[in-house]
Amino acid sequence: MEKRVVFRSAWLPYALVLPQIAVTIVFFFWPAFQAGWYSLQLQDAFGLQTEFVGLRNFAALLADEHYLNSFRITAVFSLSVAVSGIAISLLLATMADRVLRGALAYKTLLIWPYAVAPAVAGVLWAFLFAPSVGIATYALRQYGVDWNWVLRDDQAMLLVVVASTWKQISYNFLFFLAGLQSIPKSLIEAAAIDGAGPTRRFWTIVFPLLSPTTFFLLVVNIVYAFFETFGVIDATTQGGPAGATQILVYKVYHDGVKSADLGGSSAQSVILMAIVIALTVVQFRYIERKVQY
Amino acid sequence: MVENRPWLTFFSHAILIAGILLIAFPLYVTFVGSTLTLDEIVRVPMPLVPGDHFWENYKQVLTAGTARGAAAPVAQMMANSLVMALVIAFGKIAISIIASFAIVYFRFPLRDFFFWMIFVTLMLPVEVRIIPTFKVVSDLGMVNSYVGLTLPLIASATATFLFRQFFLTIPDELAEAARMDGAGPMRFFWDVVVPLSKTSMAALFVIQFIYGWNQYLWPLLITTDESMYTTVIGIKRMVTGGDALTEWHLVLATAMLALLPPALVVVLMQRWFVKGLVETEK
């Protein structure tokens, strides 16, 4: 879509886009280009000498058991966050769409976790489940569960999944609620007249009509779990125990900042960029075509 | 509602209330914890009714910080967070609205190229280019400064898209009338486009304020000086490692202070928040 009526000026449009473009070049394109450049180099431990090594950093990464394991961990983590977040929010949104009384109050009380920083969410849940003083740990112990996420892999993963999902529920909830409210009431009424009960109506009419929203949220949640959960992980497990919750983004940070492995970390950045580009393309192609019935 | 099913309605309310309680539980425990003494909080199980050290704990973190972790006063950190959130929110809105105005209301060489450049930034989140971006900022001497904290995060593809979408819906007749009356592009921008964009700006402001306030990875790299810490970074620095060593009552008081401002923005500006959230994703 284009405007029919436009203004004419030889310099004004350039002056107007300049601030945005300048920031974009200095802080986005130049660093991204440098990441690509560093990824082809090898630095010694003191950063004194660099050597051009071609694709050897990538070859080393793909042969590295830790890196491949980090891929698996990221897949498990992001799918768990996306699926549990979507399931819980869909349940809550369906219920909120049904009730008339108190709808606004319910909505208000469900959306605030969106405002909590991932790192703060991590601290809150880390405290609840703290191995020695946590109140949830105490409750679990009463039921005979030995809870210590500092030492046990599966429990550490569970903790970061719970904290990350908790923060994302409000986002999913709002999108599902908007989706539910846009479904024509006449469809539901027609099904009710034909004798379909609430459960039947949900699975045969509501759920299929929500599929565009669900698919959109699946992509958004995976992107969220990939990148924005850095704060959750750094505030709780820091990738531990023994790398059990070290997702890809955390590994880029860990290798680059803590271990000062510039080449390896940059190669990981390049791989991550490829993943983001793929996810963005999926998201936009879908928005153009929309899942239709 | 299609039909009257009292049991199902009751069930819906029950599920919603259970969901709300479950979601609010961590917040409640945090609040209770922030009103206890260290001795009370490390007792297992900790009490679940608020204690009477509310003023004491909050006063201590606001003015003095913790004894064992970060010693910077949280009031200073909150001021830093506020500066960061406001500069990022206003900065993003300002540079995006003029960029989209140029892209929609002018025809000029490289227009599509600029638009494409802004679009691509969507695919380059800070998290994937941490080290090189940090190097650029430190080469520019921006470490431990408000400029370094905010400027790299100020470019926004989503805000540019949102304004572009909105400008395309402004009737052409308005621009035509302005031109006939002899108004130049900037006059049209200030007198017509900006006033019409107010709701979009409010919606974007809420989303970007929360984004700026909650930033974590970037300030973690760029602030090494305690006086530049944001609140979220401060909390992280207070958790010194080991359950027994952490002064949990002070950490939790700081956590309350870190989450209250953005939570209030969401709750009080709910209408714009929902609008902003839904529209930036279109």
For A163-176, the pLDDT digits (tens) are 999 999 999 999 99
pLDDT for A293 equals 41
Any chain B CB within 8 A of the CB of A252?
A: yes
Any chain B CB within 8 A of the CB of A253?
A: yes
Measured distance CA(B129)–CA(A120) in Å, rounded = 23
Backbone dihedral region for residue B72 (phi beyond 0: left; psi -120 to 50: alpha; all else: beta): beta
| HSE toward the beta carbon, residue B54, CA cutoff 13 A | 7
The answer for residues whose C-beta is within 8 angstroms of residue A239's C-beta and 6 or more apart is A233, A245, A246, A247, A250, A251, A254
Q: What residues pair up with A50 in beta bridges, in sequence order?
A: A43
Instruction: Please answer yes or no on whether B172 and A4 come within 8 Å at the CB atom.
Output: yes
Residues of B in contact with A96 (CB under 8 A): 12, 16
pLDDT for A74 equals 93
Provide the token pair at A114.
Answer: 């969106």
How large is the average pLDDT for residues B35-64?
84
Instruction: Please answer yes or no on whether A127 and B251 come within 8 Å at the CB atom.
Output: yes
Measured distance CA(A234)–CA(A252) in Å, rounded = 13
Cβ within 8 Å of B, A 140-199 = 166, 169, 171, 174-175, 178, 185, 188-189, 192, 198
Within its chain, how far is the Cα of A93 from the centroid?
Answer: 20
CA–CA min distance B142, chain A (Å): 12
pLDDT at residue B213 tops 70: yes
Best of B1, B7, B11, B16 to mutate (most A CBs within 10 Å, chain A): B16
Instruction: Please answer yes or no on whether B152 and A14 come within 8 Å at the CB atom.
Output: no
Instruction: Please answer yes or no on whether A127 and B30 come within 8 Å at the CB atom.
Output: yes
| HSE toward the beta carbon, residue A196, CA cutoff 13 A | 16
Residues of A in contact with B160 (CB under 8 A): 20
The confidence band for A276, taking pLDDT boundaries of 50, 70 and 90, is confident
Q: B227: how many CB neighbours lie within 10 A of its CB?
A: 11
- Specify the range with the lowest mean pLDDT, choosing from A35-44, B104-113, B177-186, B263-272: A35-44
Any chain B CB within 8 A of the CB of A19?
A: yes
One-letter identity of residue A255? D
Within its chain, how far is the Cα of A194 from the centroid?
Answer: 41
The confidence band for A48, taking pLDDT boundaries of 50, 70 and 90, is low
One-letter identity of residue B194? V
How large is the average pLDDT for residues A114-121?
93
- Specify the range with the lowest mean pLDDT, choosing from A47-61, B42-56, B171-185: A47-61
pLDDT at residue B67 tops 80: no
Name the H helices within B140-230: 146-150, 157-169, 172-180, 185-188, 194-196, 198-213, 217-222
pLDDT for A292 equals 44
Best of A27, A30, A200 to mutate (most B CBs within 10 Å, chain B): A27
pLDDT for A44 equals 66
Predicted confidence (pLDDT) per residue in A213-239, tens digit: 898 888 889 888 988 899 999 988 888
Query: Measuring CA to CA, which residue among A92, A217, A140, A284 is closest to residue B161?
Result: A284
pLDDT at residue A142 tops 90: no
Residues of B in contact with A115 (CB under 8 A): 210, 214, 259, 262-263, 265-266
The confidence band for A47, taking pLDDT boundaries of 50, 70 and 90, is low
CA–CA min distance B43, chain A (Å): 7
pLDDT for B2 equals 65
CA–CA min distance A184, chain B (Å): 12
CA–CA min distance A114, chain B (Å): 8
Measured distance CA(B50)–CA(A227) in Å, rounded = 36
Facing residue for B232 by CB, picked from A119, A228, A257? A119
Residue B57 belongs to what H/E stretch?
A: helix B54-64
Of all residues in chain B, the one with the smallest CA distance to A256 is B131
pLDDT at residue A287 tops 70: no
How large is the average pLDDT for residues B48-60?
86
Q: A50-52 and A41-43 as β-strands: parallel, antiparallel, unpaired? A: antiparallel
Interface size between A and B, measured as CB pairs under 8 A: 297
Predicted confidence (pLDDT) per residue in A175-212, tens digit: 999 999 889 989 988 998 998 888 899 999 999 999 88
Q: Which residue has the tokens 């949900």?
A: A202
Mean pLDDT of chain A: 86
Predicted confidence (pLDDT) per residue in B131-188, tens digit: 888 888 888 888 889 998 899 888 878 889 889 988 988 999 999 999 888 888 999 9
CA–CA min distance B5, chain A (Å): 10
Residues of B in contact with A126 (CB under 8 A): 239
Of all residues in chain B, the one with the smallest CA distance to A261 is B131
Name the H helices within chain A: 12-24, 30-38, 56-63, 65-98, 103-111, 118-128, 135-142, 153-181, 185-193, 198-201, 207-209, 211-223, 230-235, 248-253, 262-289
